Amino acid sequence: DIQMTQSPSTLSASVGDRVTITCRASQSVYSWLAWYQQKPGKAPKLLIQKASSLDSGVPSRFSGSGSGTEFTLTISSLQPDDFATYYCQQYNSYSPTFGQGTKVEIK
Amino acid sequence: QVQLQESGPGLVKPSQTLSLTCTVSGASISTGSYYWSWIRQPAGKGLEWMGRIYTSGSTNYNPSLKSRVTVSLDTSKNQFSLKLSSVTAADTAVYYCARGTSNGYSLGYYFDYWGQGTLVTVSS
């Protein structure tokens, strides 16, 4: 299995901050990486696929970058609705795997 | 708009088989190139992909669960199902069904539509 490691595990930030979350893969996944946002008690919501393609309706303050083994999710100006847990997921194998998650908390 | 809805018992006894169904609306599970999947999440923990069935009926399972998990299609009801045998307390989790979509050249797929999730507790 391809292992996905996110950092940090928890991030404290304020409204308006620029936030960056990193996801590293144990081997190259090319650009086959997705990002999700999950709020308590809710299903994950797709934000980005193919490393940098924003899903329909996702605000432009979200962006993704990277390829190979290192990827980042950036929120350019954190909004109150963005406090949540974020997961990366690789899909360069027949068994998709997720990172352990990064919780974005209010500072 | 594609919608998925999980259903099934919320309580299962240890050693028994967990059975869940996902009803899909807004799309046909027998057409297109989609990977109808099950994903679970223990309380306070991360996401684990369990297995999937393709629109053709082919299946693929997480190697860590392969001997215990079965995913099947019921095209007449536009549903797909999960069976997990020999459950223990470690299988207590929220179970999600989701639609997997590929980019065409990727080996795998990302999940663009999810059900709301259903909590299954394994306890006697």
Span A1-58, pLDDT tens digits: 999 999 999 999 999 999 999 999 999 999 999 999 999 999 999 999 999 999 999 9
- Strand stretches in chain B, DSSP E: 3-7, 11-12, 18-25, 34-41, 48-54, 59-61, 69-74, 79-84, 93-101, 110-114, 118-122
Cβ distance A95 to B110 less than 8 Å, yes or no, reads: no
Total number of residues shown for chain A: 107
- Does an H or E element contain A39, and which? none
DSSP string, A67-82: ETTEEEEEESS--GGG
Instruction: Please give the average per-residue pLDDT across A60-87, as a whole number.
Output: 97
Record the tokens describing residue A63, joined without a space. 């962006």
Backbone phi and psi for residue A81, each to the nearest 5 degrees, phi listed first: -75, -10
At B67-114, the pLDDT tens digits run 999 999 999 999 999 999 999 999 999 999 999 999 878 889 999 999
**Chain B hits for A100, Cβ within 8 Å:** 46
pLDDT score for B105? 85
Record: contact A89-B106, CB cut-off 8 A: no
> What residues contact residue A67 under an 8 Å CB cut-off, 6+ apart?
A30, A31, A51
Per the CB < 8 Å rule, is B47 touching A46? no
Q: What is the reported pLDDT for B66?
A: 80
pLDDT digits (tens, 9 = 90+) for A65-78: 999 999 999 999 99
